[in-house]
Chain A
Amino acid sequence: EVQLVQSGAEVKKPGESLKISCKTSGYYFTDYWIAWVRQMPGKGLEWMGIIYPGDSHPRYSPSFQGQVTFSVDKSISTAYLHLNSLKASDTATYYCARLRVAVPTIGTGYFDSWGQGTLVIVSS
């Protein structure tokens, strides 16, 4: 069974940094891209970007470029989302999701398995 299990909720102060983990199991970690998706309170889904565990190559959404960093640790089949210099507007639930590549020619696809989400609250 494919599983993505994220780290727990966090409460941070403005200016602090945070790393969210997404531990995967049930499939070959290096065979699928991992995406990160933000959902602000009461709002819709926003694609932040993806990373390919095979070579740690990331692709960031223009809306999040420079604001976030993705990384992976292949040895433990885990992806990470790094958030720096947190602001109150970073308060959101962050999801990791496995990308099923459906258009090989352009390397895009959709999300067939999701983590449970990590709630991040940034407040002074």
Chain B
Amino acid sequence: DIQMTQSPSTLSASLGDRVTITCRASQSVGYWLTWYQQKPGIAPKLLIYKASTLESGVPSRFSGSGSGTEFTLTISSLQPDDFATYYCQHYNGYPLTFGGGTKVEIK
């Protein structure tokens, strides 16, 4: 199985900050990587797929990059609505696996 490792597990940031979250795969997943945002008590929301393609309706301050085994999710200017937990997920074969999550907190 492909293991997905996110770092950091928790990130403290202020409004307006540029935030970067890293996701590493235990073996290459090509570009087959997705990012989700989850707020407490609410289902995850799709943000980015194919490593860097923004889902329709997602603000342009979110961006994704990377390929192979290393990926990043960047929020260019943190907004109040962005305080949440973010998960990566590969889809380069089964089983599908998620990263452990990165919680973005208010500094």
Number of chain B residues whose Cβ lies closer than 8 Å to a Cβ of chain A: 26
Contact (Cβ within 8 A) A110 B92: no
Contact in complex: A103, B98 (CB < 8 Å)? no
- Give the CA-CA distance A117 to B55 in the complex, in Å: 22
- Quick one: which of B42, B50, B55, B100 contacts A112, CB cutoff 8 A? B55
Interface residues as binary, B26-39 with A (CB distance below 8 Å gives 1, 0 otherwise): 00000010101010
Chain A residue at smallest Cβ distance from B97: A47
The count of A-to-B residue pairs whose CB atoms sit within 8 angstroms is 68
The answer to whether B43 touches A114, judged by C-beta atoms less than 8 angstroms apart, is yes
Contact B91 A102 (CB under 8 A): yes
Tell me the interface secondary structure of chain A in the complex: strand
Which A positions have Cβ atoms within 8 angstroms of B?
Answer: 35, 44-47, 59, 61-63, 95, 97, 100, 102-103, 106, 108-112, 114-117
A-B contact pairs, 29 of them (CB 8 A): A35-B96, A44-B99, A44-B100, A45-B36, A45-B101, A46-B98, A47-B97, A61-B94, A97-B44, A102-B32, A102-B49, A102-B50, A102-B91, A103-B91, A103-B92, A106-B92, A108-B91, A108-B93, A108-B94, A108-B96, A109-B91, A110-B46, A110-B49, A111-B46, A114-B43, A114-B45, A115-B43, A116-B42, A117-B42
Chain B positions near chain A (C-beta within 8 angstroms): 1, 32, 34, 36, 38, 42-46, 49-50, 55, 87, 89, 91-101
